[in-house]
């Protein structure tokens, strides 16, 4: 059981070892990053040749030069930027473009905005990140999360948990010092907060070489190489959610697990969950849910000595409600009168041993919407939608479907040609070119 002292222990001694590398001497709060850098972020408006319009995000990297995604501007007929004070200026020309990395550099008719600094190196996994952009056209919106992974293929990209939406493309991703570590590009429909951005390394390389590759040239090359990317969604997964709602979480260990949690003084507590087991909800503090394993299935030692010595000590898994970050914790508050809570995010594939299912229920007096994928039947995609108004589920909630062929219309994937690749069982695999 988590003791009443947990709130103080969390504030005073919560340790996330993976987030301690490459941080500034003073970590800025998201509100401070917004105040310092908000004037350098712009909303981008495009009028396309087919008469449609779309919007995205961007940011100043040099005097009069704005960086955004290549797919934001696409084959637009005219492009303009909008500043924080809602003044608009036209884009004069495209200085550089690389559709493969999905980055473009635009010369604009405004030169007084401060330029953002591209970070020289990436922070460690678990580091807090902040995003400023225009999701769904709502300019200068702020979200935050964590750096959950660094991926490398043809270029280096970061995976983040900060929420994004269509319109977020081109948004700068900031570390806690306020430097840019990536540019938001896409997200996985079937995942939870699985959002991706070319890293600061990729952005520095782009600015150094300044290639000029048109979308048409890239498409010819890509299709010749038959490049294709994939994602999937399984029944029961939430594919859309908005508003205010209560989250119901269940945690189960699929297999035994053990590891250690370090602090910034090179001390460590070793822990083990000895067998597959269902974890019990223990407490929620500061929007973090804690789930403890039964005491007879765990062990935890510090300096070779057990720190599990009374009913207030526990070992288990935590889940951060805001960004879905997950990891291990050891609460040894009952050991030798120490108020100590150790915690760190999952590393590598540790999370594979933990099954976390998340459901939602209405929150009194609040509005919300969530959509859950149900499967595929008769050539149609099945899903349920729950609409909540003033804390009550409305009559227009229920089960719905649409033809598989209409997937691109219902789920536009940041301008890409999304289609169904295959269905295995009830899991839907989709691809985009």
What pLDDT was estimated at residue 417? 56
Distances in whole angstroms, Cα of residue 223 to Cα of each of 37, 60, 218, 235 = 39, 32, 8, 32
Yes or no: say if 63 and 40 are a contact pair by the CB < 8 Å rule.
no
Yes or no: say if 284 and 248 are a contact pair by the CB < 8 Å rule.
no
- Which residues on adjacent β-strands are paired with residue 246? 361
Say whether pLDDT at 411 is over 60.
no
Sign of the C-alpha dihedral, residues 361, 363, 365, 371?
Answer: negative
From CA 150, how far away is CA 125, in angstroms rounded?
8
From CA 105, how far away is CA 209, in angstroms rounded?
12
* Domain match, 173 and 254 both: no
Give the residue with greater pLDDT, 232 vs 77: 77
* Domain match, 188 and 235 both: no
Distance spanning both ends of the chain, measured CA to CA: 50
Which residue among 341, 357, 373 closes a domain? 357
Q: By C-alpha distance, which of 47, 97, 89, 340 is closest to 216?
A: 97
* Domain match, 55 and 122 both: yes
Predicted confidence band at 12 (pLDDT cuts at 50, 70, 90)? very low
Q: What is the mean pLDDT of the chain?
A: 81
Predicted confidence band at 105 (pLDDT cuts at 50, 70, 90)? very high
CATH code assigned at 170: 2.40.10.120
Say whether pLDDT at 422 is over 60.
yes
Say whether pLDDT at 95 is over 70.
yes
**Per-residue tokens: 279:** 């974890």
Least confident of 47-51, 290-294, 343-347: 47-51
Distances in whole angstroms, Cα of residue 293 to Cα of each of 251, 257, 278, 328, 330 = 10, 11, 7, 11, 11
Q: What percent of the chain has pLDDT over 90?
A: 42
The CA-based angle 253-256-259, given to 5 degrees, is 105
- The 180-183 sheet, strands edge to edge: 180-183, 172-174, 128-133, 141-152, 156-160, 195-198, 186-187
What pLDDT was estimated at residue 186? 80
* Domain match, 346 and 378 both: no
Say whether pLDDT at 23 is over 70.
no
Least confident of 63-67, 116-120, 221-225, 351-355: 221-225
Yes or no: say if 192 and 181 are a contact pair by the CB < 8 Å rule.
no
Report yes or no on 9 lying in a domain. Answer: no
Predicted confidence band at 50 (pLDDT cuts at 50, 70, 90)? low
Mean pLDDT of 377-399: 87
* Domain match, 129 and 64 both: yes
* Domain match, 171 and 39 both: yes
Give 154-190 pLDDT, tens digit per residue. Answer: 889 999 999 888 789 899 999 999 999 999 988 765 4
Distances in whole angstroms, Cα of residue 259 to Cα of each of 280, 315, 347 = 20, 11, 10
Distances in whole angstroms, Cα of residue 401 to Cα of each of 87, 130, 378, 396, 418 = 42, 36, 10, 14, 18
Phi then psi for residue 74, to 5 deg, are: 45, -125
Which residue among 337, 357, 377 closes a domain? 357
- Which residues on adjacent β-strands are paired with residue 247? 360
Yes or no: say if 409 and 65 are a contact pair by the CB < 8 Å rule.
no
* Domain match, 234 and 377 both: yes
What pLDDT was estimated at residue 8? 38
- Which residues on adjacent β-strands are paired with residue 259? 271
* Domain match, 84 and 153 both: yes
Say whether pLDDT at 5 is over 60.
no
Say whether pLDDT at 351 is over 80.
yes
Report yes or no on 419 lying in a domain. Answer: yes
From CA 167, how far away is CA 236, in angstroms rounded?
27
Q: What percent of the chain has pLDDT over 70?
A: 80
Say whether pLDDT at 150 is over 80.
yes
Give the residue with greater pLDDT, 286 vs 9: 286
Most confident of 10-19, 33-42, 239-248: 33-42
The CA-based angle 162-285-25, given to 5 degrees, is 55
What pLDDT was estimated at residue 100? 87
From CA 278, how far away is CA 68, in angstroms rounded?
45
Say whether pLDDT at 36 is over 50.
yes
From CA 103, how far away is CA 84, in angstroms rounded?
22
* Domain match, 31 and 116 both: yes
Give the number of domains in the chain. Answer: 3
Predicted confidence band at 62 (pLDDT cuts at 50, 70, 90)? very high
Report yes or no on 27 lying in a domain. Answer: yes
**Per-residue tokens: 272:** 């083990």
Give 111-133 pLDDT, tens digit per residue. Answer: 999 999 999 999 999 999 999 99
Least confident of 57-66, 235-244, 334-343: 334-343
Predicted confidence band at 10 (pLDDT cuts at 50, 70, 90)? very low
Say whether pLDDT at 428 is over 90.
no
Q: By C-alpha distance, which of 53, 18, 40, 167 is closest to 110?
A: 40
Report yes or no on 4 lying in a domain. Answer: no
Yes or no: say if 403 and 278 are a contact pair by the CB < 8 Å rule.
no
Most confident of 41-50, 83-92, 240-249, 372-381: 83-92
* Domain match, 31 and 138 both: yes
* Domain match, 259 and 407 both: no
264 by Cβ neighbours in 10 Å (0-12 / 13-18 / 19+) ranks as exposed
Which residue among 312, 334, 357 closes a domain? 357
* Domain match, 100 and 150 both: yes
What pLDDT was estimated at residue 47? 86
**What are the start-end ranges of the H helices in 1-152?**
6-13, 30-37, 70-73
Whole domain around residue 350: which residue ranges?
245-357
**Per-residue tokens: 251:** 């945690």
């Amino acid at each position: 059981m988590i003791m009443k002292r947990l709130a103080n222990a969390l504030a005073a001694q919560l340790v996330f070892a993976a987030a301690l590398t490459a941080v500034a001497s003073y970590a800025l709060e998201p509100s401070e990053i917004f105040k310092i850098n908000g004037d350098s972020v712009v909303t981008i408006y495009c009028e396309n040749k087919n008469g449609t319009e779309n919007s995205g995000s961007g940011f100043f990297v040099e005097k009069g030069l704005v960086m955004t995604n290549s797919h934001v501007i696409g084959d637009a007929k005219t492009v303009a930027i909008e500043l924080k004070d809602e003044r608009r200026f036209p884009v004069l020309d495209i200085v550089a473009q690389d559709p493969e990395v999905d980055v473009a550099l635009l010369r604009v008719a405004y030169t007084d905005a401060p330029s953002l600094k591209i970070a020289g190196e990436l922070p460690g996994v678990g580091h807090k990140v902040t995003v400023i952009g225009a999701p769904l056209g709502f300019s200068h919106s702020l979200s935050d999360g964590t750096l959950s992974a660094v991926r490398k293929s043809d270029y280096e990209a970061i995976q983040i948990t900060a929420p994004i939406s269509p319109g977020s493309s081109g948004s700068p991703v900031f570390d806690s010092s306020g430097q840019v570590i990536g540019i938001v590009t896409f997200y996985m429909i079937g995942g939870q907060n699985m959002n991706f951005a070319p890293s600061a390394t990729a952005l520095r390389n782009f600015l150094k070489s300044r290639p000029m590759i048109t979308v048409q040239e890239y498409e010819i090359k890509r299709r010749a190489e038959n490049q294709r990317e994939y994602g999937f969604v399984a029944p029961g997964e939430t594919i859309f959610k908005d508003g205010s709602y209560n989250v119901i979480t269940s945690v189960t260990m699929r297999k035994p697990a053990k590891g250690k949690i370090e602090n910034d003084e090179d001390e460590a507590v070793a822990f083990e969950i000895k067998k597959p087991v269902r974890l019990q909800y223990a407490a929620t503090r500061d929007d973090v849910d804690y789930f403890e394993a039964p005491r007879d299935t765990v062990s935890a030692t510090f300096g070779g000595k057990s720190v599990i010595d009374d009913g207030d000590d526990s070992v288990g898994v935590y889940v951060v409600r805001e960004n879905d970050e997950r990891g291990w914790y050891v609460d040894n508050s009952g050991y030798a009168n120490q108020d100590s809570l150790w915690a760190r995010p999952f590393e590598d594939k540790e999370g594979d041993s933990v099954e976390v299912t998340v459901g939602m229920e209405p929150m009194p007096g609040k509005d919300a919407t969530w959509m859950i994928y149900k499967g595929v039947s008769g050539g149609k995609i099945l899903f349920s939608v729950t609409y909540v108004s003033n804390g009550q589920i409305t009559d227009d909630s229920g089960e719905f479907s649409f033809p598989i062929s209409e997937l691109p219309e219902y789920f536009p994937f940041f301008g890409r040609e999304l289609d169904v690749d295959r269905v295995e069982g009830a899991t839907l695999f989709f691809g985009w070119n």
